[in-house]
Structure 1
Amino acid sequence: MSTLTYPEVGATRLGPLPDGYNHLHHRAVVGRGRPAFEAAGTAVTEWHVHRATGAGVDASAVRAAAGVTVEVSAGIGPLRITAPCEVVWTAYGKDRTGFAYGTRPGHPERGEESFTVELTDDGTVWFTVTAFSRPASWYTRLAGPLVPMAQRWYARRLTTALRRAVSAA
């Protein structure tokens, strides 16, 4: 039985993103060619890119798969925020790799976020972060528009970490 905290499970995979949430769509080039695509896909689906940003990641599996539970954390001491999630879909295709996780009880937001890597016909490797979310706790409600700003900042930070992972591969 799922313990997800929102009803629109899977909306980041097929769209459209549901109304009543803040939406995030971040897309950036992270490399070129099949080796870059494969390195990026591994970095995303094995949690390396999240960890490279300084976030704590405690996952029930080494690799993203439907049903895997993940707790992402950031901050220090009493200012540490934990975000319990569950992987709701994965893509392990020839030219598209990634996953999405949805929020579980205790997460400061409600919604879903996907992280995908795509190899286009011209050899460009794109990284896309798509999300919909709304506050689920008093402190995210209080933070108001700062939360979507922080999500955009984190998406850019993931992109920087992924570019480093691809260039090191």
Structure 2
Amino acid sequence: MSTLTYPEVGATRLGPLPDGYHHLHHRTRIGHGRADFEAAGAAITEFRMHRRSGAHVEASAPRAEAGTSVRVALGVGPLRFTAPCRVIWAEYGPGRIGFAYGTLTRHPECGEECFVAELAEDGTVSFRVMAFSRPLRWYARLAGPLVPPVQLWYARRLGRTLRRIVAEQRAERERPGR
């Protein structure tokens, strides 16, 4: 079994994020109400959000739970990189559903990233990505200043994808005859 590549395991659960890493904080409004929240949470924890965003995901379980092995591959052909991770924590609460995974030995970076749906008191459903990372492999170090904008681009892409998934499920729920 591969080992985690960083000591601050679990820091994305509530923060603060550790020093010495690039930090990513991104929030996207996804929808409104309990049904949208539950749809968002399921899409996140069943890895559908990642898959619909264009990532190839292999997971050792159908749903995120602590200890689940996850391999995320992005790109095509020789420009495809694979990121082996392990789910560090998963939360299935009344106002927060999501998980975080941490990097394993063959990952190009080291750190942790969480993906969470949150239901506010006013019914607003938000998607939050919080991460800390730094380069581990030579090619990640070579990419240097390009990595943070690419990570933000991907977080935004995940948010747009999740918003579409939730809207599709809302339309299905509201379709006449249902």
What TM bracket, shorter-length normalisation? over 0.9
Distance in 1 separating the partners of 2:165 and 2:15: 29
Q: Give the counterpart letter for 2:103 in structure 1.
A: T
Q: What's the TM-score, normalizing by structure 1?
A: 0.98
- Identity percentage over the alignment? 66
The reply on whether 1:7 has 2:7 as its aligned counterpart is yes
Distance in 2 separating the partners of 1:143 and 1:67: 30
Distance in 2 separating the partners of 1:2 and 1:27: 31
Q: State the structure with more CA Rg.
A: 2
2:131 aligns with 131
Q: 1:17-72 CA distances to partner (integer Å, 9 max, x unpaired)?
A: 00000000001110000110000000000000000111000000000000000000
Q: 1:145 offset after TM fit, Å?
A: 1.1
Number of matched residues? 169
The reply on whether 1:60 has 2:69 as its aligned counterpart is no
Distance in 1 separating the partners of 2:127 and 2:7: 26
**Partner SS for 1:6:** coil
Q: 1:162 offset after TM fit, Å?
A: 0.2
Q: Give the counterpart letter for 2:148 in structure 1.
A: P
Is the deviation greater in 151-160 or in 70-79?
70-79
Which runs of at least 4 in structure 1 moved beyond 6 Å after TM superposition? none
Q: Give the counterpart letter for 2:71 in structure 1.
A: E
2:161 aligns with 161
Distance in 1 separating the partners of 2:15 and 2:86: 19
Show structure 1 runs of 5+ residues with no match: none
Q: 1:2 offset after TM fit, Å?
A: 6.7
The reply on whether 1:111 has 2:111 as its aligned counterpart is yes
Q: 1:14 offset after TM fit, Å?
A: 2.3
Distance in 2 separating the partners of 1:14 and 1:32: 23
1:141 aligns with 141
1:90 aligns with 90
* 8 Å CA contact retained: 2:22, 2:132: yes
Distance in 1 separating the partners of 2:49 and 2:28: 15
Q: What's the TM-score, normalizing by structure 2?
A: 0.93
Distance in 1 separating the partners of 2:74 and 2:15: 29
Distance in 1 separating the partners of 2:100 and 2:133: 13
Distance in 1 separating the partners of 2:126 and 2:13: 16
The reply on whether 1:20 has 2:5 as its aligned counterpart is no
Q: 1:15 offset after TM fit, Å?
A: 1.3
2:80 aligns with 80
